[in-house]
Structure formats: C-alpha cells, structure tokens
Amino acid sequence: MDIRDYIEEHAPEFFASLTEWLAIPSISADPDRHADVAGSADWLRTYLLEAGFPTAEVWPTGEPGAPGLPAVFAEWPSASPDAPVVLIYGHHDVQPVEPLEEWESPPFVPVQDGDLLLGRGSSDDKGQVLFHALGVRAGLAASGESAPPVTLKLLIEGEEESGSPHFAGLLRDRRDRLRCDVIVVTDTTMWAADVPSMCVGMRGVVSAEISVAGPERDLHSGSFGGAVPNPLHVLADMLSGLHDSDGRVTIPGFYDNVLPLSDAERELIARLPFDERAWLAEAGHSGATSGEAGYGTLERVWTRPTAEVNGMWGGHTGTGGKTIVPARAHAKLSFRLVANQEPGDIIAGFRQYVREHTPAGIEATVEAESDGVRPCFSPMDSPAVRAGRRAMERAFGAEILFTREGGSGPEADLADILEAPLVFVAVGLDSDRIHAPNERVSMSLLLKGAEAAAYLWDELAAVASELTARR
Amino acid sequence: MDIRDYIEEHAPEFFASLTEWLAIPSISADPDRHADVAGSADWLRTYLLEAGFPTAEVWPTGEPGAPGLPAVFAEWPSASPDAPVVLIYGHHDVQPVEPLEEWESPPFVPVQDGDLLLGRGSSDDKGQVLFHALGVRAGLAASGESAPPVTLKLLIEGEEESGSPHFAGLLRDRRDRLRCDVIVVTDTTMWAADVPSMCVGMRGVVSAEISVAGPERDLHSGSFGGAVPNPLHVLADMLSGLHDSDGRVTIPGFYDNVLPLSDAERELIARLPFDERAWLAEAGHSGATSGEAGYGTLERVWTRPTAEVNGMWGGHTGTGGKTIVPARAHAKLSFRLVANQEPGDIIAGFRQYVREHTPAGIEATVEAESDGVRPCFSPMDSPAVRAGRRAMERAFGAEILFTREGGSGPEADLADILEAPLVFVAVGLDSDRIHAPNERVSMSLLLKGAEAAAYLWDELAAVASELTARR
C-alpha cells in the first residue's frame, strides 16, 4: 500500500487519538497540572505500544527528593544491526492557557474547524510528536516489513515549556540507551503552508550583568558634578561602545569562531518570501529595521550573533528630579550566539571589554552565567539534512527552503551530550498561535508531516554509511 | 569708638540674643513647626526695631488660600537720598534635625564649646543674618552718625530650606519696596577660617527627562534581536555621545554664551589650598577626578557647565534574566549652568541633540523644566565685589581669595528680578555641618562678619557713583 494512501485512510483514527491526548491538560508550569503531565506520559506510552513500538517506557526525571516531570522513551529497532539509529525529540507538556477568556473554544476540548484542529498542544508539540507514529506505520505498510529501515528511538520530554530543567541531566543519565547517529527534532516551524522549509540552526544565548560603582553614596551634583566620574556615564559609554558604526559587536574575539553564512544558504534565505513590513508590524515596530551592516533582516536574526542590552538602571528613577551623581549603575545583557561561538569565550571577551573600558575611579564587576545555551547548526550539505530535505520534498512535492531560528531550546544539549547531528523536520506554522490563545494546527500539514516522517527513515537509511561513519 | 572695640564690647549681648533666636525651631519643611517659623519672624522683627531700624515688618508670602511662611523686611534709610541702596538677603528658617540621636546636644538648646556655638541655624543662617545688626550698630558708633552711609534693606526669608517656593513671587510683588543698587548675600561659606574668601558665583541648573520608545511592547530577543533598534542601545548612544573625548558637552551651542574663566580668577583659585585627596574622600570616592579637559577640579565644579545623567532605567531590572528587546528606555538629566548660559537655550540645544541622535524606528521625547535656575556671577572687578573684598580684608587683615559654589539657591532670582548685582559676604565654613547634626559656628568668625558688615557700608558708599550709575 502506498504511504500517502495509508495515511489518508488512517487519518480519522489518528485525529481521534490526537484529540484524546490533547484533552489531557499537561501544563508543566502549573503544579496543579503535574498529575496531568504524568497522565499525558502514560497515555503516550500506551499509544506507542499499541502503534507497534516494542518498547515504550515512562522515564522519571530529577532527583528522588526533587522529582521532575516524566519523559517518554520508546524504541523500535531496525532488523539490521548496522542501520543508523535515529532519535526523535519532541515534548508532551504544553504552555499555560491564560488568558482563558480569549479562547474561542475551551483549550482542552479540541474542535475541528475546516482544516484546523484547535486546542492547546495541537501544534506545540503533541500533534507533531504523534505524526511520527502514523509515519512509521505508513512506512511499514508500504514496505511490507515488520521493522523500520533505521532503529527508531523517541524521547518526548515533559518539561520543555518550563525550560527543560532536568533534560540535560536525563540525557547524561540515559546516554547509553539514547545513543544515536542522528537526532530528528520535531518542534519547529516551516516558513508557510505553501513554502515548506526546514530549520537548520538555532542561536544560542548567554547572559551577563554588569555593575558599575563610583562614589560610596549618591553625591550632590552641584558640589561634585563635572569633576568625578559618573557611573551612569561610564555605563552608557560601555553600552554604546559595544557596537561600532557598522553595528558590529566590538567585544574582543567576538566573531573569531563565527561560522560564516554560506553563499548557498544565503541564496536560499533570499528566496523566502519575506515581508519586512509585516514582520515589523508583528513586532509592533512602526519604524525601520537596523543591525549589522552587510546582512538582511532574516540573516541578522538567524545567522548573526548579537550583544543586546535587556535592561539597565541606576540613580534616581522615581518622579521628579534629583540632582545627583549616582553611586551605582547596572545593566543586564544577553548575547545571541551562532555556530561555532562558545558561551564561555564570549563572556571572557566581555569581561576583557569591561576591564578595558573602566576608567580610573570606577569599579566595574561582571556576573555571568557559567554555561548559557550553545548554538546549534546543521550544515545544508550534511547527510542528515540532505536526507531530511529529500523526505520533505517527496511529501510536499515542492522545493524545500531553509530557515533558522533566532532563539534556543534544549536542542543544543541534545547534540552536545549525545554527540549526534540534528535535523529539524516539522510542519508547524508561525500562524499556529503557539503559546497564545486559540492554538491550532493544520490537519493536512500534520498528515504531510507523517508522510515526510515515513519517507525520512528510507532516506536516512540510504545515507547509512555516512551517518554511521562517526561511530 | 573703634568698630572692633564696639563689637568686642557688645559680643556677649549679641550671642545672648542669637541664643534666644536659635531656640526657636523654625523648620520650614515641617508643618508642625510653621508656627515657630512665624515666631522666628516676629522675634527678628522686634530685634531689628530694638537695634534701631526705623522700619521692620513681617511679610506674609503665598496666596490667601495657600499661604507660605513669612519673611522679614527691615529698612534703615541713609541720610543722603543719593546714597546707594543695599539689600541684604538671608533666611531665618532652618533645616530639619533628623537624625536626632546623632546630636551631642539638643539642636534647639544652643551651647557654647570654646569658640563654637552649637545649634541648628547657628551658621545657616541665623548667626550670619544677625551679625548685620551688630555691624550696622558698630558702624554708627564709630561714625557718630544716626544713619548708615547707605540705605540698608534686609530681606530675610522663611522658606529657603524648603526651596523658596514663594520667593520669586514675593520679589515681584514687593519689587518697589525692594528696589536696590546692590544685593548682599549672607548665606555662603569661606574657604577656611585662616583662608578668608568671597563667593563670586553660583551655577544654575535645569533638568530634563528623555524617553526613548521603540516597539509597542518588549520583544523576544531571539526572534527580533539584532534586527530592530533597541531603545536601550539608542539611549546609551545618546548619553554616551553627550561628552566628547575631552569631556566637553556636545549639545549644539552649549558653550556659546559661557563667560570664560578670567586669568585673574583662575590665578586666585589656584592659590586656594585645595586637597584633592581629602575632597575625594569626602565624596566617598576612592578613585580619581575626571571631567572637562583643561580645567582643574575646583574650576570644573565652580566655573564650568555640565551635562549630568542623574538616573536611567529601561527593560528588565528585576532579578534573573529576560532576553528582550525592551520597548522603552528613560533617563533623567540635569545641566549645571554658568554665566551667561540661559536654561531655555540649553534645553533647546538638548532637544536638537536628541532629534539629531534619534535613528529611524525610534521615537524620542524630551520633557524639560520651563525655567530652571539661572546661574549668577559677580565679576571680581565689579564695584560691589571690590567694595566687599576691601571690607573683608579690613576685617580679616588678610588677602581675600575668591570661590564659587557649584550649586544654586534663590540668589539668581534676586539678581534677575531686582536687577541688581550680587555680592556675597559671609563667614560660614564647610566644617559648620550645616544641614547635618551638630551644626556649629565659630563665634569669632561671626564677629569678623559683623566687622566686615560694618566696613561694607562705607566701602559701598565709596563707590556710590558706580553703583548708582545704572539707575
């Protein structure tokens, strides 16, 4: 039986199951819903067993005294011991639903509206997790085999919407069982329903706070103003000097390890139908874009690192005036990182920058995260991305373009700890209203996702030797 | 009888009177003490009448429905109608006394300790107001005349320590009776007991607040960071750019009307025994001085204008990190002004500066005081300052050096509204602990002040034609 036919035939039962799962309010951020997160894990484990996975387990996380929320692990070994091992990553917890009054239908009573299925988690991420089960069934039906051409592992965590606090620990603890040759992430978006695309990278991030100290106490600006260094002036100088006139970050060594944007990726980004005006409107920004010279807006948010001031304060901030030279000034900064920048290097460079910009009479201290989130990136010409792209092309019958994401999830931990390349195969849309009221998903796109997943195992098997060469 | 002998002979009764007056807790900032401020005014009026002033009146201030605290006006006409008219300015209200537990003796029970008289108001300003009464009596005793050689007017306000909210109004309302050729201000300090000096200027001040607006709401720095203008970056650029590498303010036209520091004044400032290390220690500043290139510390705080950031805030200022491009950023600034800068010109220049430094996509607004405080300055070679200096030199038997003050009181209003030059004759010291617990005054210096006041009327009479030429 043809893969597409199988999926079409089994769509009604797929959506019935998904509807059942979506009804479980697995909000990881809400302690009152933690039993539901556990219930969601149990539901998924049972479902995967019924779908044919020989193994499906609920994995607790955290420490005995301080437990986290459970993940689900499932495995379906290939008949061939040499086949690549593929780990599929997703999550079964969902975002909170406030403000509840803005939902047009109750968030945990899924309803269909034309091609849309509405409900919390329909796109992020239950719908996208579940299409893999349909995809593997379709692949087996088409091939007539009893096992997939690659060894499939699923790891579906329950704390992604709460910052994945126990995820890295889980990966380290279960490293042996999670061992894999490639990681398929199913928690991103495509450019548009009619512009199918794959994500190939995410920026990392690392944060720091700077404190600038001058006099012991606020000084009268009549008596001292103009003759002692003002911490607010020093901080303004430091923050202003962080970028040169080309919008480039001036921190020593900041760009040293940046992997340049390839001409090929650049050309594909340029082909995305990007409406800058609409993008600005979405940001509530009536004005103009700005940033590093030589790069377009998408290139800037996807492929270039930043130094961003997130907050600053110092001196008198209440009503009225106060003519002081203030004692202290502070700022919070975060740096978005791209491959192959290391958070530790960036913080070291920032400390050096601050030292070099601290005038006499001023003390400046930097407190920074010890780790941060590393960037992740999968080159377009890597075997996994090539295979993923072919699978998507077969499902959509169209050229697949490439995107990246400006922000970060736990994906870098996956790649770092499991030492395997990432490939992002997902069919969510920016219009799915994830994290917002009235989350929805296109049912036809979920079926396309199942189809792409079904092709993906063949395509990955076809590049098996390249994928397993690192073993 | 010799002036000095008269003063010495009458010193005991002078200090007895001053002690009586200091016992009245005329704290203008404390509504519970407003009856005492009125009592202080009554006391002074009675005292001046007894001292021989033909006229002494209590002047109410404010509006009928919103009264202020009373001032005292007294007048002693010269026998000659062509004599210069001199207005003496001081105040009879005092600072609050908190923290009370730090006083070694009760603030309103004056006690003598060697040459010191301790009590709230002993230096600021009751002691210095009262020496004028002793001075005029001594002058008349020495000359044998029944009227002083100049027409004396006293205006002693009751709200100086509360920001003189009704003072400008009072000056305007009573302009005819306050008409004068020169204003003697007795509310400043000398460099040191053994380095007698006169103040010749005070910096003015005008304040502004700037608000920088970018996106409608805080944006996710992963999705937008690096591609839209960040209001905190723009504000940092604006504030950093306010000074060039020489520490000069870059606001258009900022220095256009600045009266340059004369070589003569500069030379006299250089002769003041200034201990920069001690001055920094007083500021709780362990580090170095800094400021406009080409000027020393005293020159910077006394004779040069500033642009000082007093406070700034924007974005996330709470605990932890928040990876946003913030919607708004704010800063409060004040500009210390010197002769002949106009507050309105400076604000206009600042608005232009902000306009010129506002990039596309950002909206910046400036809110500023409509008036501010104008600077005041009396040239060293002006007739009034020359006369005041000779009077001080005769009293102290020493060369009189010049100082200025970095901050501002209501003196500019006096000069502006009454259209007369200022001369500062006072004997307070920085060590008098004004505004702090254990305020004290040197009794011998108060007697020197009386002596200088006695000489001052002769010295001003000697330059009568120069003083009255403007009439």
- The answer to whether the beta carbons of residues B467 and B84 sit under 8 Å apart is yes
**Given an 8 Å threshold on Cβ–Cβ distance, is B241 in contact with A240?**
yes
Residue in the structure block whose two tokens are 């692990």: A73
- The answer to whether the beta carbons of residues B429 and B123 sit under 8 Å apart is yes
B222, B361, B369: residue with CB nearest A406: B222
Measure in Å the smallest separation between the Cα of B223 and chain A Cα atoms: 5
Both tokens of residue B234? 């723009």
Residues in A touching B261 (Cβ below 8 Å): none
Residue in the structure block whose two tokens are 């005329």: B26
- The answer to whether the beta carbons of residues A251 and A349 sit under 8 Å apart is yes
Chain-centroid distance of CA A278 in Å reads 23
Q: Can you tell me the distance from the alpha carbon of A359 to that of B287, in angstroms, rounded to the nearest whole number?
A: 9
Helix segments in B243-296, DSSP class H = 263-270, 276-282
Q: What percent of chain A has pLDDT over 90?
A: 88
**Given an 8 Å threshold on Cβ–Cβ distance, is A311 in contact with B226?**
no
User: Strand A401-405 to strand A197-202: parallel, antiparallel, or no bridges (unpaired)?
Assistant: parallel
pLDDT (tens digit, 9 = 90+) per residue, B212-253?
A: 999 988 988 888 999 999 999 999 999 999 999 999 999 999
Residues in B touching A297 (Cβ below 8 Å): 227
Both tokens of residue A314? 């110092």
C-alpha separations of A315 from A310, A322, A415 in Å: 18, 9, 44
**DSSP output for A179-212:** --SEEEE---EESBTTB-EEEEEE-EEEEEEEEE
Kindly calculate the radius of gyration of chain A based on its CA atoms and give it in whole angstroms.
25
Measure in Å the smallest separation between the Cα of B247 and chain A Cα atoms: 9
Phi/psi zone of residue A373: left (φ > 0), alpha (ψ -120 to 50 degrees), beta? Answer: beta
With b meaning 16 or more CB within 10 Å and e meaning fewer, what string describes A256-287? eebeebeeebeebbeeeeeeeeebbeebebeb
Residues in B touching A347 (Cβ below 8 Å): none
pLDDT (tens digit, 9 = 90+) per residue, B384-441?
A: 999 999 999 999 999 999 999 988 778 999 999 999 999 999 999 989 999 899 999 9
Supply the mean pLDDT for chain A.
95
Residues in A touching B363 (Cβ below 8 Å): 287
CB pairs under 8 A between A and B: 290
pLDDT confidence band for B470 (50 / 70 / 90):
confident
Task: Report CA torsion sign: A35, A41, A45, A48.
Answer: positive
Q: Which run of H or of E encompasses A167? A: helix A167-173
Residues in B touching A227 (Cβ below 8 Å): 289-291, 297, 300-301
B225, B284, B313: residue with CB nearest A216: B284
Residues in A touching B284 (Cβ below 8 Å): 215-217, 219, 327
Three-state secondary-structure class, residue A282: helix
Measure in Å the smallest separation between the Cα of A393 and chain B Cα atoms: 27
Measure in Å the smallest separation between the Cα of A216 and chain B Cα atoms: 5
Q: What is the mean pLDDT of residues B128-151?
A: 97
Nearest residue in chain B measured CA to CA from A243: B233
Which of A203, A297, A317 to probe by mutation at the B interface, max B CB count within 10 Å? A317
Task: Supply the CATH classification number for the domain A204-258+305-368.
Answer: 3.30.70.360
Q: Residue ranges of the domains in chain A? A: 3-202+375-468, 204-258+305-368
Residue A184, amino acid? V
Q: Which fold has domain B3-202+375-468?
A: Aminopeptidase (3.40.630)
A223, A300, A321: residue with CB nearest B334: A321
Residues in B touching A407 (Cβ below 8 Å): 220-223, 323
Residue A314, amino acid? G
**Given an 8 Å threshold on Cβ–Cβ distance, is A336 in contact with B222?**
yes
Residues whose CB falls within 8 Å of the CB of residue A111, separated by 6 or more in sequence, listed in order: A105, A117, A118, A119
**Given an 8 Å threshold on Cβ–Cβ distance, is A308 in contact with B325?**
yes
pLDDT value, residue A283:
77
**Given an 8 Å threshold on Cβ–Cβ distance, is B332 in contact with A312?**
no
**Given an 8 Å threshold on Cβ–Cβ distance, is A289 in contact with B361?**
yes
pLDDT value, residue B284:
79
Q: What is the mean pLDDT of residues B54-69?
A: 95
User: Does pLDDT of B286 surpass 80?
Assistant: no
Measure in Å the smallest separation between the Cα of B384 and chain A Cα atoms: 25
Q: Can you tell me the distance from the alpha carbon of B182 to that of B338, in angstroms, rounded to the nearest whole number?
A: 21
Residues in B touching A217 (Cβ below 8 Å): 284
φ, ψ dihedrals at A408, nearest 5°: -135, 140
Residue in the structure block whose two tokens are 């502006």: B416
Count how many Cα atoms sit within 13 Å of the Cα of residue B23 in the half-sphere of its side chain.
9
Both tokens of residue A251? 């921190």
**Given an 8 Å threshold on Cβ–Cβ distance, is A300 in contact with B220?**
no
Residues in A touching B189 (Cβ below 8 Å): none
Nearest residue in chain B measured CA to CA from A362: B287
Residues in A touching B214 (Cβ below 8 Å): 285, 287
Which of B228, B243, B255, B357 to probe by mutation at the A interface, max A CB count within 10 Å? B228
ipTM metric: 0.90
B236, B283, B361: residue with CB nearest A219: B283
**DSSP output for B151-172:** EEEEEEES-GGGT-TTHHHHHH
pLDDT value, residue A407:
83
Residues in A touching B289 (Cβ below 8 Å): 227-228, 361
> Rounded to a whole number, what is the distance in angstroms from the first to the last CA of chain B?
35
- The answer to whether the beta carbons of residues B311 and A316 sit under 8 Å apart is yes
Number of residues that make up chain B: 471
pTM of the model: 0.90
Q: Can you tell me the distance from the alpha carbon of B408 to that of B372, in angstroms, rounded to the nearest whole number?
A: 10
- The answer to whether the beta carbons of residues A143 and A79 sit under 8 Å apart is no
Is-cis flag, bond preceding B230, omega within 30?
no
Both tokens of residue B468? 């009255």
Both tokens of residue A86? 């593929």
φ, ψ dihedrals at B90, nearest 5°: -160, -170
**Would you write out chain A's pLDDT as a tens digit for each of its 471 residues?**
899 999 999 999 999 999 999 999 999 999 999 999 999 999 999 999 999 999 999 999 999 899 999 999 999 999 998 999 999 999 999 999 988 999 999 999 999 999 999 999 999 999 999 999 999 999 999 999 999 999 999 999 999 999 899 999 999 999 999 999 999 999 999 999 999 999 999 999 999 999 999 998 899 888 899 999 999 999 999 999 999 999 999 999 999 999 999 999 999 999 999 999 989 888 777 778 999 999 999 999 999 999 999 999 999 998 888 889 999 999 999 999 999 999 999 999 999 999 999 999 899 999 998 788 899 999 999 999 999 999 999 999 999 999 999 887 789 999 999 999 999 999 999 899 998 999 999 999 999 999 999 999 999 999 999 999 988
**Given an 8 Å threshold on Cβ–Cβ distance, is A291 in contact with B226?**
yes
pLDDT (tens digit, 9 = 90+) per residue, A134-181?
A: 999 999 999 999 999 999 999 999 999 998 999 999 999 999 999 999
Measure in Å the smallest separation between the Cα of B77 and chain A Cα atoms: 37
Both tokens of residue A60? 């607790």
Task: Report CA torsion sign: A25, A31, A35, A37.
Answer: positive
Measure in Å the smallest separation between the Cα of B133 and chain A Cα atoms: 31
User: Does pLDDT of B285 surpass 90?
Assistant: no
- The answer to whether the beta carbons of residues A142 and A454 sit under 8 Å apart is yes
Nearest residue in chain B measured CA to CA from A316: B311
pLDDT value, residue B276:
92
Measure in Å the smallest separation between the Cα of B190 and chain A Cα atoms: 15
**Given an 8 Å threshold on Cβ–Cβ distance, is B306 in contact with A221?**
yes
- Nearest one of B226, B469, B445, B379 to A203, comparing CA atoms: B226
Chain-centroid distance of CA A358 in Å reads 36
Q: Can you tell me the distance from the alpha carbon of B74 to that of A173, in angstroms, rounded to the nearest whole number?
A: 90
Residues in B touching A285 (Cβ below 8 Å): 214-216, 219, 224, 228, 361
C-alpha separations of A357 from A289, B235, B250 in Å: 29, 18, 21
- The answer to whether the beta carbons of residues B323 and A310 sit under 8 Å apart is yes
